[in-house]
Amino acid sequence: MVAHIFHGVLTGSYRYTTLTDVTRPAPGRPSRRRVSHPSARARPPRFTCSYPACGRKIFQASLTCADDGAKLTHRVTRWILQRLAIDRMSVSATAKALGIGWELVNQVALDACRKLVYDNPHHLDGVRILGVDEHVWKHTRRPTEPSNLVTILVDLTPLVDGRGPARLLEIRSGRSAEVLRTWLQERDPKFRQQVQVVTMDGFAGYACAVDQVLPDATKVMDPFHVIHLAAGKLSGCRQRLQRETTGRRGRKDDPLYKHRRTLLTRTNYLTQRQKQRLDLLWATDDEYVALEVTWMFYQDMIQAYGHPKKSEGKKLMSRVINSIRKGLPAGLEELAQLGRTLWRRREDILAYFDIGASNGPVEAINGRLEHLRGIAPGFRNLNHYILRSLIHSGQLQTRINAL
């Protein structure tokens, strides 16, 4: 093998690069490496090769601590990700600690996040239980506008298997069946075959998308959203009776308005005084019979989910669904609406008692994203918000040391 001979440093004009590195001579005190002259830059040397058969004549040395053309070293990039993903610091606070610009810190964090996690072809391997929910990423006067909503997708498999917490997989703009259907269709067939369970709220669009793209997957309607749906019907019945009996909205001294929160409380958590108030409410006026019946079914649903044996809880929930499916007397309009909805989604509701997966961890990640907006208010760019969310909740912590 003929050895190549390099001659000196090639002179001439070339691009200079500012190089920043965290040496941390003291804990929490990052410093910047510079050459002796204040205006100088780190110059990777260039060499020329004198071997005639060599097809390349100019070579530039590479730094092991940083990529070519990078302004930050691997070590400072790891430090930035640790502050953002583990310490939950904002980009501005991280940039201030390093003494560099916000744009540089933000871009480095986003590029490193893509490289470590989301550009990895094995990122979606092993996803068997998928959680889907909506999230309001921008709070305005009309938070339910389509432009303010996103669909979040969460891998619940590690939590169910006991290997770790749930992880955020992706965030897509909008909330519709088309959004979820498009994301699922973009994944390879292997991923769609391995998904066995999809947990969701009561939004029919998500259920429709799963039926079309993942026909073999089991849909699970989350218990929280089922009870929330029943609580909405109970409140609707109370408000209707309030208008019918008084001709106006509730006031603080009205019995129905005074006990609005007590009506939504589980019977196990009611104090003796609250129980006496409810008993007095049911006994004083026959006009509240419809509210009492709706309240009883609401409590039966809570008891079904809280039963220590899932098999018995499933029987109780099935009994409730069959009881209010149809044939209810006049005056129970809200309960009849609830019965039609529960019957239409009965398979998804009862599947919870067989599988046990729920959207609780997805709601927890929703809370983390609310915290993110609190430490970095004023997000305007949705792409930045999505990537920052993935940094916070995408289980990036376990891969940071790879830098």
What are the extents of the domains in the chain?
6-118, 129-221+358-402, 224-355
Q: Is the pLDDT of residue 68 over 70?
A: no
Report helix, strand or coil for 151.
Answer: strand
What's the pLDDT at 98? Answer: 85
Q: How far apart are CA 166 and CA 261, in angstroms?
A: 32
**378 falls in which pLDDT band (50, 70, 90)?**
low
Q: Tens digits of per-residue pLDDT, 176-190?
A: 999 999 999 998 899
Q: Tens digits of per-residue pLDDT, 115-132?
A: 777 777 777 888 999 999
- What mean pLDDT do residues 254-264 have? 91
Lowest-confidence segment of 63-72, 237-246, 250-259 by average pLDDT: 63-72
What's the pLDDT at 77? Answer: 85
CATH number assigned to the domain covering 129-221+358-402: 3.30.420
What's the pLDDT at 401? Answer: 63
Nearest-5° Cα angle at 302, 298 to 304: 115
* DSSP assignment of 40-82: --B---EEEE--TT-S--EEE---TTS-TT-SB-HHHHHHHHI
Q: How far apart are CA 119 and CA 111, in angstroms?
A: 10
Q: Which residues of 33-64 are buried (b: 16+ CB within 10 A; e: fewer)?
A: eeeeeeeeeeebebbebeeeeeeeeeeeeeee
Instruction: Name the DSSP letter for residue 379.
Output: -
The predicted model scores a pTM of: 0.76
Instruction: Name the DSSP letter for residue 10.
Output: P
Q: Are 392 and 152 in contact (CB under 8 A)?
A: no
Q: Is 353 left (phi over 0), alpha (psi -120 to 50) or beta?
A: alpha
Lowest-confidence segment of 35-39, 87-91, 198-202, 359-363 by average pLDDT: 35-39
